[in-house]
Amino acid sequence: MERYQAERNPARNTVLAIGKIIPKFLSFCEAKGRQDLNQIAREDVIGYLNSRNGSRTSTKKTHKAIITLFLNGCFSYGYRVEKMEQISFKGPSDIPRAPLKGFTGEEMATMDKNVKRLNLRERIIFNFISNKPLRISELADLSVAEVNLEAKEFTIFKSKNGKTRVLALPKKTWDDLKEYIRPEWPKERSLFGLSICSMEFTVKEIIKKLRVDPKGRNSHGFRHALIMKMLRVDKHDPAVVAQIAGNTPRTIYSNYSSQVSVDEQRRAEKASERTKGW
């Protein structure tokens, strides 16, 4: 794990997932009589996934991805003689997908209108995540030292893709942060004091408090909406957007640039309805 982290600089979520999933998987394999990593085959991975009764398909696929990453990493480091072959796992569609990836402009306006319903910490979290394309892990990992109130900026150190970036503090957080941050707090203290899971839960509760139906969406819906706005509405260079979002330009081009936002679809539908005849 130390070597993997030093060489690949994985996201914190990936490290946490490896630490939780791999011990369970290896215990399963040991119970099946596997004595070393070379004896683990594709059938063992599928057997492990099928043994997780009650887990959603999306969760099982996450386990599959982490296990594949682990086993192929073992091959790279010389602990396995062969790479793990391709594993195709398609469980039943047991949960509906979120109909929308991001929030619409109307939903963002509704949440902004109802922001007074939030307490101080919730308001700061909302203004961060609704104004900057942050990952939930970046928000949860933010420390007091990484927020510079004088310069009105904050720093994300080596998040996913190993990038460190300095971003302007959302204007709506300036006064709230001055009230929120205590002089006696140590610099290394977590700004919000929440784990990634707790932060995700808090964001979902914030969405509900602001009178918007999540419809299966989570914190990533804000990131998606902001990136789409910067690309499709504000017409920013994808390379600049990639720098702000902590992505590679290639990811921005492939995942966002070619997409059409829900707002654009609705504007087109309304315009079409106003056009009479063919």
Predicted confidence band of residue 14 (pLDDT cuts 50, 70, 90): confident
Predicted pLDDT of residue 3: 84
Predicted confidence band of residue 163 (pLDDT cuts 50, 70, 90): confident
Q: Greater confidence, 141 or 54?
A: 141
Q: What is the pLDDT of residues 191-204, one digit of tens each?
A: 999 998 899 999 99
Helices and strands (H and E) in the chain: how many: 13, 3
Q: What is the pLDDT of residues 72-122, one digit of tens each?
A: 989 998 999 888 888 877 765 544 556 678 899 999 999 999 999 999 999
Measured distance CA(171)–CA(132) in Å, rounded: 11
User: Which residue(s) pair with 54 in the sheet?
Assistant: none
Task: List the domains of the chain with CATH numbers.
Answer: 2-76 (no CATH), 105-264 (1.10.443.10)
Measured distance CA(247)–CA(160) in Å, rounded: 8
Angstrom distances, CA of residue 3 to CA of 15, 63, 76, 77, 231: 12, 21, 11, 9, 37
- At residue 154, what are phi and psi to the nearest 5 degrees? -140, 160
User: Is residue 130 a contact partner of residue 171, using CB atoms and an 8 Å limit?
Assistant: no
* pLDDT higher than threshold 80 for residue 278: no
Predicted pLDDT of residue 197: 87
pTM for the model stands at 0.67
* pLDDT higher than threshold 90 for residue 178: yes
Count of C-beta atoms within a 10 Å radius of residue 227: 24
Q: What is the pLDDT of residues 207-240, one digit of tens each?
A: 999 999 998 889 999 999 999 999 988 999 999 9
**DSSP secondary structure letter of residue 168:** E
Measured distance CA(40)–CA(30) in Å, rounded: 10
Closest CA to 24 of 66, 54, 56, 58: 66
Q: What is the pLDDT of residues 15-36, one digit of tens each?
A: 898 999 999 999 999 999 998 9
**DSSP secondary structure letter of residue 214:** -
Closest CA to 138 of 150, 151, 155: 155
